[in-house]
Amino acid sequence: MNTILLGAQWGDEGKGKVVDHLSEKADYVIRFQGGNNAGHSLWVNGKKTVLHLIPSGILHPQTLCLIGEGVVLDPNVLIEEINKLKEANVFKNTHDRIRVSERTHVILPLHRAVDVARETSAKGTKAHIGTTGRGIGPAYETKALRRGIRVIDLFDETKVFEEKLDFLFNEYRHHFTAVQIAEIKQQTLNEVEVWKKLFEPLLVDMTSFLKKAMNEGKKCLFEGAQGVMLDMDHGTYPYVTSSYTTAPSAGIGAGFPKLTQKSRVLGIAKAYVTRVGSGPFVTEMLGKHVPGEEVLCENIRKIGQEFGATTGRPRRIGWQDLVALKYAVDVGGIDELAIMKGDVLAGLGDFKICTSYRKPDGTEWATFPSRADDLAKVIPHYEAVPAFKKATPDDPNYDAYLKRIEAFVGVPVKYVGFGPEREQMALR
Ligand code: GDP
Ligand code: IMO
Ligand code: MG
């Protein structure tokens, strides 16, 4: 049985930790979407490792870590991450541990510049998404525009490659002056040789590679980035990322859907909710709906260290939102859940869970609202959850909270995280 692991909220649920935990029994760990907008933190024996691109199974020496064609890849980030892991003696030879699909699209300096330019000009308006500024949206955009550069294209003859760059740059000439375009293009050309050296030994055709893996009975763990509520189609559009974060995306982004048909889908959620960037957040603790919630919000941020692993931004914090979680289970294709970070809430008193969304006229939303403006006006209806001392399944109050989640969303809570360390996870 393979596992597809997804974020079931707005990202940062603790996916990295769970992937690291489960990788002990995996042969291949595969990223299939997103890019270095992701920040996955792993704690092993008091030492922290943050990964943005390389799958979070890398700390287990028997795994081969693959980057599928659904990912958008910034080569400089990959180089930096490999160097850090080598310095930490995680591996010596990159080829022993990492492979990259030759069809993966490359994030170029142009993509980053467009991302930053757009966000800067949208500041203070509803068009400001609060992206990570890593060029993710523009890279997926040029892929759909059929002007993107894939890893394999870096190996074109110089003339052919430059022509592709010119077609691409032409699409963005209105963003930059001719001098800026020339500079960004030159910056790209200067780096290509280094990137080719990096990629040459790592490239694979994912479909044939994974077909062989399947025939050999390899165990695969598919590592999702972001979360279902940031999915381009099903998330809180337009405040989403630019890739598909639901289970079917694993088959597409890894290039071998047959493998994911034999998978269970594990959704990762926190015992509360966080979100980074702009967009509606129904249960956010802003003092709008529950008196005193801003104080609890600060406590959770401090105890849970809720600051972005990629951008360092303070994460927005809210009560558990079971309406959103149920929607994420349905639309994400989730079979079972892991609930993380309950330990952060232990000792903080009674907690609330949102069990219905009300309209300003008092009636209830029958389905998850698809318009951001409607979501922004939702009045959350809460149920109280009695305080718990420990966030482990043997604490009766915590167990009651987990059972309430199961009854509401309709899938079992299989794992519970009660601390950042690899071993601080229990199977229920
Ligand atoms: P990801 O993007 O989903 O991989 O999550 P991040 O790594 O961005 O953020 C999750 C944070 O919570 C990291 O700092 C983890 O070390 C930490 N973490 C994960 N699980 C737990 C848990 O059960 N309890 C506590 N206290 N921290 C956790
Ligand atoms: P992991 O894998 C939390 C958010 C950004 C922004 C929106 C679009 O660590 O859970 P983008 O740069 O993707 O165009 O930004 O998506 N976002 C994340 N939030 N965790 C992440 O990844 C995220 N990746 C993107 O904050 O709101
Ligand atoms: Mg993260």
- Nearest-atom number in ligand 2 for the CA of 115 is 14
- CATH code for the domain of 182: 1.10.300.10
Q: Which residues contact 160 (CB under 8 A, 6 or more apart)?
A: none
**Pocket lining: 134 vs ligand 2, CB cutoff 6 Å:** yes
CA-derived radius of gyration, the chain: 22
Nearest to 335 by CA among 279, 426, 409, 399: 409
Q: How far is the CA of 15 from the centre of ligand 1 (A)?
A: 7
* Residue-wise DSSP of 370-428: -SHHHHHH-EEEEEEE---S--STTSHHHHHHHHHHHHHHSS-EEEEE-SSBTT-EEE-
Q: How far is the CA of 53 from the centre of ligand 2 (A)?
A: 13
Count of domains forming the chain: 3
Residue nearest to ligand 1 atom 1, measured at CA? 12
Q: How far is the CA of 326 from the centre of ligand 2 (A)?
A: 21
**Pocket lining: 39 vs ligand 2, CB cutoff 6 Å:** yes
Give the pLDDT score at 101.
Answer: 98
Domain boundary among 150, 183, 199: 199
- CATH code for the domain of 299: 3.90.170.10
Q: Tell me: cis bond preceding 238? Omega within 30 of 0 counts.
A: yes
Give the pLDDT score at 311.
Answer: 86
Residues 229 and 152 in one domain: no
Residue nearest to ligand 2 atom 11, measured at CA? 131
- CATH code for the domain of 32: 3.40.440.10
Residues 278 and 342 in one domain: yes
238: its two tokens: 């337009």
Give the pLDDT score at 364.
Answer: 97
Q: Which helix (H) or strand (E) holds 99?
A: strand 98-101
Give the pLDDT score at 310.
Answer: 84
Burial class from Cβ neighbours inside 10 Å (0-12, 13-18, 19+) for residue 343 reads buried
Dihedral (C-alpha) 354, 356, 358, 362: value to the nearest 10 degrees? -110
Residues 299 and 356 in one domain: yes
Q: Which residue range forms the structural domain that includes residue 340?
A: 269-427
Domain boundary among 199, 215, 244: 199
Residues 230 and 368 in one domain: no
Residues 319 and 417 in one domain: yes
**Residue 91 backbone dihedrals phi, psi, to 5 degrees:** -155, 165
E runs forming strands in 271-362: 273-275, 316-318, 320-321, 336-340, 351-358
Residue nearest to ligand 1 atom 11, measured at CA? 14
Residues 354 and 247 in one domain: no
Give the pLDDT score at 75.
Answer: 98
Domain boundary among 199, 222, 249: 199
Residues 399 and 299 in one domain: yes
Give the pLDDT score at 51.
Answer: 98
Task: Tell me which of 9, 13, 17 to substitute to probe ligand 1's pocket, judged by most ligand atoms within 8 Å of the beta carbon.
Answer: 17
**Pocket lining: 72 vs ligand 2, CB cutoff 6 Å:** no
Residues 334 and 366 in one domain: yes
Residues 35 and 12 in one domain: yes
SS3 65: strand
Catalytic residues: 12, 40
Q: How far is the CA of 367 from the centre of ligand 1 (A)?
A: 30
Name residues contacting ligand 1 (CB within 6 A): 7, 11-17, 39-41, 43, 304-305, 309, 340-341, 343-344, 417-420
Residues 400 and 423 in one domain: yes
Q: How far is the CA of 163 from the centre of ligand 2 (A)?
A: 32
Residue nearest to ligand 1 atom 21, measured at CA? 420
Nearest to 242 by CA among 114, 333, 151: 114
Q: How far is the CA of 11 from the centre of ligand 2 (A)?
A: 7
Task: Tell me which of 230, 284, 313 to substitute to probe ligand 2's pocket, judged by most ligand atoms within 8 Å of the beta carbon.
Answer: 230
Task: Tell me which of 41, 53, 317 to substitute to probe ligand 1's pocket, judged by most ligand atoms within 8 Å of the beta carbon.
Answer: 41
Residues 276 and 144 in one domain: no
Give the pLDDT score at 175.
Answer: 87
Which ligand sits nearest to residue 416's alpha carbon? 1
Residues 78 and 139 in one domain: no
Give pLDDT tens digits along the chain (428 positions): 999 999 999 999 999 999 999 999 999 999 999 999 999 999 999 999 999 999 999 999 999 999 999 999 999 999 999 999 999 999 999 999 999 999 999 999 999 999 999 999 999 999 999 999 999 999 999 999 999 999 999 999 999 999 999 999 999 988 889 999 999 999 999 999 999 999 999 999 999 999 999 999 999 999 999 999 999 999 999 999 999 999 999 999 999 999 988 899 999 999 999 999 999 999 999 988 899 899 999 999 999 999 988 888 999 999 999 999 999 999 999 999 999 999 999 989 889 999 999 999 999 999 999 999 999 999 999 999 999 999 999 999 999 999 999 999 999 999 999 999 999 999 99
